[in-house]
């Protein structure tokens, strides 16, 4: 049975929405919620997201109505109107997004009506309903995308022709979202296209404005954003492609071949790019073969990640390192339809391990402990030793007790600082190789 309370691996929809908006260039959140919501939810991703940081108008700088008992009794619409007006007057931004919390939604505050007053006056303000009872942080990400790209930007934008939008990685709740998007954007550009990654430092508000004119939306998630992508296609005429985030050369080669077909890039150009990237990738990778072979770094492994990382990470461990993946735990709450989609993506990767949908840290810890030696004669054939877990910081303690190796790669990730790191693509695969082997050799020091 899933536990959403024990050591949670996500926050409410408002938390995901705040992390998304504060990571977008030129976009400012205005939180209409109870006092403390904005700061506490930002802190959850600040620390758990690899020390994501506040950014511009994040953390203690987030504009918020901070409603109290008085507004709960008499309504908070006037308080919201005042906060919107103050934010517009004091903060430099291209778009202001009102995000609503539980209390104001329960009492029936009409945020849309408040926003309409300012919109009618020419101010760039929208409202997105994000109370916790609409879902958790991953759903909040999707709600923000819907509000900005499908509600705010009008239909009928001229197609750019050679532009690709990249979606599906949730800021902070995927600690490597910036590095992953940067690498995938680099590869898209290497095929001769422009790339909207939206959340990387090289992007600005113009990238958001140009998104409706893209030739293709790439969605790196089997579970989140599909409804958004379908509505984007209906409104803006942009087709979408749902695919696994590629990690390492084997997966990225396949990704580029399929992307090239969808974008009508010549096969020769795609093959030349793959050849160049493989020469560089394996030129570095092969240098590690000695330390891996001589140290006998062969492991049974388990991954504990969100749905976007489960199949890609397992595929890298299996195909690039030759490890045996026994379990892949998917840790965010999913609907039955989402689970089927994740299962399909996992099966298509050729992974033979057990795919489990589990949020409870204690249940995952029991599974990890179950693979370790029990000192019983004849039990060796039932054990999985040595064992390596790529999961969140929550798995560090259970792994120490079970004498299993561990590397933090998923939320909550509060034992690493993530700045430019990402595991996607060719460069990300090499970074993952470094991190995995470094965690092994450091134990010998």
Instruction: Write the DSSP string, 278-329.
Output: HHHHHHHHGGGHHHHHHTT---EEEEEE-HHHHHHHHHHHHHTS--EEEEEE
Cis previous bond, 72, omega within 30: no
Q: Are residues 359 and 406 in the same domain?
A: yes
Q: Are residues 378 and 302 in the same domain?
A: yes
3-state secondary structure 134-159: HCEHHHHHHHHHHHHHHHHCCCCCCC
- What pLDDT, on the 0 to 100 scale, is given for residue 4? 55
- Sign, CA torsion 220/226/229/230: positive
* DSSP β-ladder status, 354-357 and 27-32: unpaired
Residue 73, burial from CB neighbour count under 10 angstroms (0-12, 13-18, 19+)? exposed
362-414, pLDDT tens digit by residue? Answer: 999 998 888 776 655 444 445 688 899 999 999 999 999 999 999 999 999 99
- What pLDDT, on the 0 to 100 scale, is given for residue 345? 94
Answer whether 110's CB lies under 8 Å from 146's CB.
Answer: no
DSSP 8-class letter at 247: B
Q: Are residues 33 and 128 in the same domain?
A: yes
In a domain, 157, yes or no: no
Phi, psi of 167 (to 5 degrees): -130, 175
- What pLDDT, on the 0 to 100 scale, is given for residue 1? 41
153-208, pLDDT tens digit by residue? Answer: 988 777 877 999 999 999 999 999 999 999 999 999 999 999 999 999 999 999 99
Cα–Cα dist 283/192, whole Å:
25
Cα–Cα dist 335/104, whole Å:
26
In a domain, 99, yes or no: yes
- What pLDDT, on the 0 to 100 scale, is given for residue 86? 95
Nearest-CA neighbor of 228 among 124, 131, 343, 141? 141
Q: Are residues 407 and 329 in the same domain?
A: yes
pLDDT confidence band for 54 (50 / 70 / 90): confident
* Residue 326: CATH number of its domain: 3.40.50.1980
Question: What is the tally of structural domains in the chain?
Answer: 3
Q: Are residues 24 and 139 in the same domain?
A: yes
Q: Are residues 24 and 135 in the same domain?
A: yes
Q: Are residues 21 and 119 in the same domain?
A: yes
């Amino acid at each position: 049975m899933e536990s959403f309370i024990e050591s949670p691996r996500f926050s409410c929809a408002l938390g995901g929405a705040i992390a998304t908006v504060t990571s977008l260039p030129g976009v400012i959140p205005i939180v209409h919620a109870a006092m403390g919501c904005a700061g506490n939810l930002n802190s959850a991703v600040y620390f758990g997201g690899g020390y994501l940081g506040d950014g511009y108008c994040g953390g203690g700088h987030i504009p918020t109505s901070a409603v109290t008992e008085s507004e709960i009794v008499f309504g908070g619409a006037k308080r919201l109107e005042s906060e919107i007006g103050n934010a517009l007057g004091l903060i430099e931004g291209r778009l202001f997004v009102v995000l609503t919390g539980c209390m104001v939604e329960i009492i029936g505050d009409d945020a849309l009506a408040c926003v309409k007053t300012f919109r009618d006056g020419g101010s760039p303000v929208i409202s997105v309903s994000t109370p916790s009872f609409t879902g958790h942080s991953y759903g909040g990400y999707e709600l923000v995308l819907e509000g900005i790209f499908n509600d705010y930007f009008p239909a009928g934008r001229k197609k750019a022709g050679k532009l690709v939008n990249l979606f599906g990685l949730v800021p902070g709740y995927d600690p490597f979202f910036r590095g992953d998007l940067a690498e995938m954007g680099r590869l898209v550009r290497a095929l001769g296209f422009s790339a909207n990654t939206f959340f990387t430092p090289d992007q600005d508000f113009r990238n958001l404005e140009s998104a409706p004119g893209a030739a293709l939306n790439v969605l790196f998630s089997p579970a989140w954003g599909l409804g958004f992508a379908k509505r984007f296609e209906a409104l803006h005429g942009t087709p979408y492609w749902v695919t696994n985030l590629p990690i390492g050369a084997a997966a990225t080669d396949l990704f580029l071949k399929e992307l090239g077909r969808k974008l009508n890039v010549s096969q020769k150009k795609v093959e030349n790019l793959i050849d160049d990237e493989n020469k560089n990738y394996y030129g570095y990778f092969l240098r590690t073969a000695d330390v891996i072979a001589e140290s006998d770094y062969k492991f049974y492994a388990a991954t504990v990640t969100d749905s976007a990382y489960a199949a890609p990470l397992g595929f890298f461990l299996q195909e690039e390192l030759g490890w045996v993946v026994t379990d892949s735990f998917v840790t965010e709450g999913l609907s039955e339809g989402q689970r089927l989609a994740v299962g399909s993506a996992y099966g298509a990767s050729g992974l033979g391990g057990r795919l489990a949908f589990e949020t409870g840290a204690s249940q995952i810890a029991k599974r990890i402990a179950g693979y370790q030696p029990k000192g019983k004669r004849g039990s060796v054939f039932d054990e999985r030793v040595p064992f390596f877990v790529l999961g969140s910081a929550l798995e560090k303690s259970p792994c120490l007790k079970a004498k299993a190796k561990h590397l933090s790669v998923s939320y909550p990730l509060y034992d690493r600082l993530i700045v430019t790191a990402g595991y996607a693509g060719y460069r990300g695969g090499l970074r993952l190789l470094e991190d995995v082997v470094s965690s092994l050799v450091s134990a010998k020091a």
